[in-house]
């Protein structure tokens, strides 16, 4: 055995032991020396939820952390969880706790990457070492690039470029999947207290059942069933598991590649928005298409309340919002319809809807949420044109004809009392858009 070594291992978006290559790198490094490792997760609500506390996601995260801790304890290790300012706590441990070797994920999410860079700089100043691996995405920033070396602004060429890379990497991905029990756990001694006055956060398992549907049957029927919200197992429900890396995106992408290319394409949409958001972090609050800066959004509290209370009188909208606030989940098709209704029938700013979703979605992720909201509103990357307006009644007839989804969520005494006429609002939306284009052309001239 050679020198003694103290390691700080920070969990973030890969809350699992299997197929966690950063963890593998850490334990491999410990093989021939005596290592003391602190496995840490910092529960930082500002870091997690920029739009305010999200109870559904908090419960999911708590359960995921409890499971992770149990798995670590199985290997005589431990997970220390504390609450507070993540960056400050990690810095304090480096400065005062004398941790000079840190294993930490890099991120495609801009504010997370910002923290990562600060830690990197601090460790450089102290002659320490930062070992990193990307959070739960397929490719780091800059790897999927256009022929000119830039960021893709269209999904199709991005997907084609991913396809090429993925084909090349497929075998390598497969070769690197591993189970946690094959790691050299005996090489480490786990730390059981953070110290420095940091109190452990109570993390109790909530005993939540896994709700994802990832099996051959789902993958085989995904292409056919994915658009019908009334089908209970039509989609994978994997969003939250991917957000927190309870499952590896690489493992799912490899399975999807062989079994459902439609599913693989959806996983690549996630990747597309993440790379776009990493390149244009200002789109968290700014329109990607700046013509929309001149849009005259409606700001009527009464209209807004009807939407968030699920009282618009349109079945699919009201059922979707009810499912979101009651369960933290809303089907993708219904997300598109409710978002379109907010922006194009109520003429409200996508940012209001984005913030609302952020407080309820169990799979909330800034890149996917901002990307999709801007996509629906028409101002985002590779966005649906503003004049593509979902008709909530046609969507209802086409995707939930027997109203199974609608009445799964709506109260029994639900009244169909439409708050407005979709046909009329569609004309208003088109006019708003035409005005916008004219104003833009005029200002350019």
Ligand X SMILES: Cc1cc2nc3c(=O)[nH]c(=O)nc-3n(C[C@H](O)[C@H](O)[C@H](O)COP(=O)(O)OP(=O)(O)OC[C@H]3O[C@@H](n4cnc5c(N)ncnc54)[C@H](O)[C@@H]3O)c2cc1C
Binding site for ligand X (CB under 6 A): 226, 235-239, 242, 266-267, 269-270, 273, 332, 335-336, 339, 357, 361, 363-365, 368-369, 372-373, 376
* Closer residue to ligand X, CB minimum distance, 22 or 376: 376
In the bound complex, what is the minimum distance in angstroms from residue 6's beta carbon to ligand X? Answer: 36
* Closer residue to ligand X, CB minimum distance, 288 or 357: 357
In the bound complex, what is the minimum distance in angstroms from residue 94's beta carbon to ligand X? Answer: 32
In the bound complex, what is the minimum distance in angstroms from residue 300's beta carbon to ligand X? Answer: 21
* Closer residue to ligand X, CB minimum distance, 194 or 218: 218
Residue 344's closest CA among 310, 381, 375? 375
In the bound complex, what is the minimum distance in angstroms from residue 365's beta carbon to ligand X? Answer: 4
In the bound complex, what is the minimum distance in angstroms from residue 340's beta carbon to ligand X? Answer: 9
* Closer residue to ligand X, CB minimum distance, 24 or 331: 331
Token output for 397: 């007839």
Residues 345, 389: Cα–Cα separation, whole Å: 8
* Closer residue to ligand X, CB minimum distance, 103 or 357: 357
Cα first-last separation, the chain: 74
Judge contact between 179 and 18, C-beta under 8 A: yes
* Closer residue to ligand X, CB minimum distance, 151 or 201: 151
Return all residues near 116 (Cβ < 8 A) that are at least 6 apart: 104, 105, 106, 107, 132
* Closer residue to ligand X, CB minimum distance, 203 or 334: 334
In the bound complex, what is the minimum distance in angstroms from residue 176's beta carbon to ligand X? Answer: 21
In the bound complex, what is the minimum distance in angstroms from residue 349's beta carbon to ligand X? Answer: 13
Torsion angle of alpha carbons 358, 218, 318, 272, nearest 10°? 40
Residue 384's closest CA among 393, 373, 395? 373
């Amino acid at each position: 055995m050679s020198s003694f070594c103290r390691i700080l291992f920070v969990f973030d978006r890969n809350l699992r032991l299997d197929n966690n290559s950063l963890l593998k790198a850490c334990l491999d490094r410990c093989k021939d020396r005596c290592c003391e490792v602190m496995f840490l997760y910092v529960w930082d609500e500002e870091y997690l939820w920029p739009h305010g506390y999200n109870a559904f996601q908090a419960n999911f995260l708590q359960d995921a952390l409890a499971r992770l801790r149990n798995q670590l304890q199985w290997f005589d290790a431990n997970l220390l969880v504390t609450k507070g300012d993540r960056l400050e706590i990690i810095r304090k441990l480096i400065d005062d706790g004398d941790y000079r070797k840190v294993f930490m994920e890099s991120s495609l999410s801009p504010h997370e990457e910002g923290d990562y860079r600060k830690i990197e700089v601090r460790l450089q100043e102290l002659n320490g070492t930062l070992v990193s691996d990307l959070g739960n995405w397929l490719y780091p920033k800059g790897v999927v690039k256009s022929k000119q070396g830039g960021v893709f602004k269209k999904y199709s060429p991005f997907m084609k470029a991913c396809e090429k890379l993925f084909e090349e990497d497929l075998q390598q991905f497969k070769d690197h999947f591993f189970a946690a029990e094959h790691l050299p756990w005996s090489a480490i001694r786990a730390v059981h207290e953070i110290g420095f006055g940091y109190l452990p956060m109570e993390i109790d398992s909530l005993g939540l059942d896994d709700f994802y549907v990832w099996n051959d049957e789902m993958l085989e029927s995904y292409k056919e069933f994915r658009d019908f919200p009334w089908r209970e197992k039509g989609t994978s429900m994997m969003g939250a598991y991917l957000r927190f890396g309870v499952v590896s995106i690489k493992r799912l992408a490899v399975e999807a590649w062989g079994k459902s290319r439609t599913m693989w394409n959806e996983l690549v949409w996630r990747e597309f928005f993440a790379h776009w958001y990493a390149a244009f972090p200002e789109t968290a609050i700014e329109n990607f298409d700046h013509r929309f800066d001149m849009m005259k959004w409606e700001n009527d509290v009464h209209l807004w309340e009807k939407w968030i209370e699920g009282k618009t009188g349109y079945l699919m909208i009201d059922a979707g919002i009810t499912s979101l606030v009651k369960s933290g989940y809303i089907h993708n098709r219904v997300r598109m319809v409710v978002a379109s209704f907010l922006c194009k029938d109520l003429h409200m700013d996508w940012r209001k809807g984005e913030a609302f979703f952020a407080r309820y979605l169990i799979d909330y992720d800034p890149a996917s949420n901002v990307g999709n909201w801007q996509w629906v509103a028409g101002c985002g990357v590779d966005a649906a044109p503003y004049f593509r307006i979902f008709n909530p009644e046609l969507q209802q007839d086409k995707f939930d004809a027997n109203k199974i989804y609608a009445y799964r969520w709506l109260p029994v005494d639900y009244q169909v009392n439409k708050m407005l006429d979709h046909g009329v609002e569609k004309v208003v939306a088109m006019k708003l858009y035409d005005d916008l284009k004219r104003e833009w052309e005029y200002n350019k001239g």
